[in-house]
Chain A
Amino acid sequence: MTTTTDFPDSAPLLQRLTALRWDNWRGGLLVFLVGMAIAIPLLPPAYSFYVSAALAALFAATVIVNAWGRYTGGLLVAPALALLFVMNIFPLLWSFGLSFFSYRANRARAPTWVGLENYANVLNDSEIWDRLHNTLILVIMTVTTQMIVGFLLALLFSKQFPLRRFLLILVLTPMMLSFVAVGAFFRYYYDPTFGLLSQAVRLITGQPFILMSTVWGSRIGIVFADAWMWSPFVMLLVLAGLVSVPKYLYEAAAIDRVSQWRQFWSITFPYIRGLMLLALLFRTIEAFKLFDLVFLLTNGGPGTATETIALRVYRIAFENNKTSESAALAYILLFTVIVLTNLYLYFATQRAKEAAPS
């Protein structure tokens, strides 16, 4: 690179700005800003865009050369952080600002300041509390089912046996499928006339069976599909714990004639406890965001019995076009998920640090 000698920081500012060196990022920035200020008013938009882009690239090049070898870590992660900032964090901050205004995306009117009114509206809206209630019921039902089924599946697959790898794949596949595909399957299976479920019930009762017409029926329908998809996830985590138990502990227990029950609680359980907690947190976060499956299976029905909070946000934002109100509700949802995620990451890194020395 061109930076064989360090440019003295004591040099006068003007000299530092105008030095024709590739590591002169201050000069690069100056050229970029001045060039843009000249190009945009003078040139037609199509040309000024390319001129600005070229100058921005020049500025970026000077920053890179300047940081080269000195701030390697920062240089390596900068593009990723920049992209995340532009595409994710900036829009979120912007919508946080928007949540204090009254704004509808389908109207041309400028946003007007309303302070905390959107939050007050959302928190005082009995419908929101009702949707929160629906979401919590679904979360509790689906996470409990997944934990139990996933744990039992893990016990089944914990030992070595012929064809284990092949059979494991059959169980693990649902987890990799798309919510849309699964939603479409289960619409077919729950169909009152041709659906397999209705046909099976008709064999016993002689009547066609409409699962999705009752409140609890549709909840069970959603939970069944979701738990079918995600129990393998819990299984995978519990399995990781089960196979990490040292064999000699079981051998010692066998010599001491410890009962199976006692073996499980004293030897196996401590090894899977941490992973089960992680599975619980991860699945709770995901279930809390449940949108696609509900959207496709019931679309919130019957009535609003299965409308989750995420579906409610979608309705307010994109069907009622109350953009700023939906942003306020979204922020309440966001806060919950951030707390849960950081709890998850805390436990996951704790576990990684404990596992590292072995």
Chain B
Amino acid sequence: MTDTAANSGNFSSVATPFRQFISAAQARRSSRGVGDAGWGRTLGAAIVSIIYFFPVFWIILTSFKTYEDALAVPAKFFFTPTLDNFAQVFSRAYSAGGPVVNTGFALYFFNSLFISGVSVLLALAIGTVAAFGFSRYPLKGNDTYLFMILTTRMLPAIVVIIPIFIMFRVTHLAGTYAGIIALYTMFNLPFAIWMMKSFFDELALDVEDAARLDGSSDVRVFFKICLPQVLAGLAATAVFGLILTWNEFLFALLLSGVETRTVPVAMSQTIGGDIGVRWGLLAAIETLFLIPVIIVTFALQNQLLRGVTFGTIKR
């Protein structure tokens, strides 16, 4: 259910009485905009989009090329595709004729997935509750807290990492899953709070008020009325958080150890390492790393604006 909800914006899980309200909003939106420009515009936009997407496309293409094809001058558009590069991402011989050994990339992919998954779940649990608090029970100086929270997210990573690096060394958290997950939870939390607050703010208050009048407790109102209405938003926030953590580089570079290394760090090390010139192989690693992100971008199209501005701009 959450999947389809994420596709069709944040309205699909709204209770029936709101349908009319929503269709009115949609009607209002269709009276805006600058009109329809038929297939002529499609042609122009297609040319621009394909040129724009070309760098990504070329990397995916390169990942199917043999060593010779990837280095061919002039560059080859047509070639016999091979899957060798993808196999070699996970295990290969480091020297010609040498033993085939595990490259560790299976572990790095697992680490990336595990660390982003757990930290996003934690950040969502803490953040959703906090967002509900900020939205429904404003504190004295509510905006100040919210500003402060987002400011911590906008700080340069390099500034934040210096004291944390020392702190983690003292507490022996550096290089452990617990340490990096705690760090990424902190990293995702402001985003989760702002995103979820923007979704809670959009809900109509009538149903909540009615439920309270009928004697529902605050807890019941939260779980039975508010949360079901923002499930789509919750899914969108989770996926955005996953991408942000999945892509993060500097924290992982400085704080992940050999066992907890993530893909971006491993990738940055291979650029200068033994496969520096094996572009096909590097492209295969990148392709595996990018595919989830591209699929998710498709799924999240309606929420992109809100996601990339941390919920500060809704539409």
Contact = CB atoms under 8 A, between A and B. Distances in A.
A333 to B, nearest CB: 6
B159 A72 contact: no
A61 interface: no
A242 to B, nearest CB: 7
B304 interface: yes
A196 B75 contact: yes
B11 interface: no
A177 B152 contact: no
Residue from B193, B296, B305 having most chain A Cβ neighbours under 10 A: B305
B250 A246 contact: no
Interface in A154-196: 156-165, 167-181, 183-189, 193-194, 196
Q: Is the interface of A mostly helix, strand, loop or mixed?
A: helix
A219 B75 CA distance: 25
A167 B58 contact: no
Q: State which size class the interface on A falls in.
A: 35 or more
A159 B45 CA distance: 11
Contacts, number: 309
B213 interface: no
Given A333-B159, A341-B150, A77 B130 contact: yes
Interface stretch (B15-23, B34-42, B79-87, B95-103): B34-42
A77 B165 contact: no
A13 interface: no
Contact of A161 (B39, B247, B313, B314): B39
A337 B154 CA distance: 8
Contacts of B296: 176
Interface of B: 29, 31-42, 44-46, 48-50, 52-53, 55-56, 58-59, 62, 70-75, 126-127, 129-130, 132-134, 136-139, 143, 145, 147, 149-152, 154-160, 162-167, 169, 182-183, 185-186, 189-190, 193, 218, 243, 246-247, 249-250, 254, 264, 267-268, 271, 279, 282-283, 286, 289-290, 293-294, 296-298, 301, 304-305, 308-309, 312-315
Given A77-B130, A88-B160, 13 more contacts: A73-B134, A162-B39, A162-B42, A163-B45, A173-B293, A180-B267, A181-B59, A196-B75, A228-B52, A242-B33, A242-B34, A289-B156, A291-B157
